[in-house]
Amino acid sequence: MKLYEIYTSVQGETQFAGRPCTLVRFAGCDLRCGYCDTEYAFTGGQELGPSAIVADVEARGVPLVLLTGGEPLLQKDLPELARQLLDRGFEVMIETGGHRDTSVLPAGVVVILDVKTPGSGEAAKNHWPNLDRVAAHDAVKFVICSEDDYVWSRAIIQERKLEERCQVLLSPSFGQVEPKKLVEWMLRDRLRARLNLQIHKYIWPADQRGV
């Protein structure tokens, strides 16, 4: 597996925001979203097997683990790593771009499915069957780059009845949409969603790594 970095911090977003978390970041991504803040992980990394990664996670002693990237589902051993972590009692989350089949993941993994909005430039690559699999403990995230993105996302949320099936996260694209404006739209439409701010960008400088 091509591991870019592993570190322990607080989870910066999602329904687990603010909780201590070990983040396992893999190198490589086959998307090029316009708002990407982890372009540095497109290349590089070191080869490590699942057992070595599990040992590192265990040594840190934090029960919540996030598998992220890049795009973690590019790693063929990712399902095995998730299985080993679950077997050891960890809460395991994966944040994935939504274009890779999530059915390969073992039951028990919390899926954060990042549906690509038109503003990302990658909406054509969404793998829509992934939305059929989301459960109550999972989340579907939309990064909102404009009001048009919000309207597009609202339509999908309502058509797919996501509010009734899983967590719905709306993220203002950092530096493009003011959180206050997104809140206004959500309240106007009485959308049952969670405002998803990247709190690590408010705690530390927005471009600081390893936090």
Any domain includes 209: no
Q: How many CB atoms lie within 10 A of CB 94?
A: 24
Any domain includes 61: yes
Cα dihedral across residues 25, 26, 32, 38: positive or negative: positive
In this predicted structure, what is the pLDDT of residue 5?
Answer: 96
Any domain includes 208: no
Which CATH number belongs to the domain containing residue 191 in this structure? 3.20.20.70
The predicted-structure confidence for 69-121, as pLDDT tens digits, reads as follows 999 999 999 999 999 999 999 999 999 998 999 999 999 999 999 999 999 99
Any domain includes 168: yes
The predicted-structure confidence for 4-42, as pLDDT tens digits, reads as follows 999 999 999 999 999 999 999 999 999 999 998 888 999
Domain that holds residue 179: 2-203
Provide the mean pLDDT of the chain.
95
What is the domain count for the chain?
1
Any domain includes 46: yes
In this predicted structure, what is the pLDDT of residue 210?
Answer: 74
Q: State the average pLDDT over residues 34-52.
A: 92
Any domain includes 68: yes
Tokens of 37: 């803040």
DSSP E strand boundaries for the chain: 2-10, 20-26, 46-47, 64-68, 91-96, 110-115, 139-144, 167-172, 194-195
Tokens of 197: 């701010």
The predicted-structure confidence for 53-69, as pLDDT tens digits, reads as follows 999 999 999 999 999 99
Any domain includes 198: yes
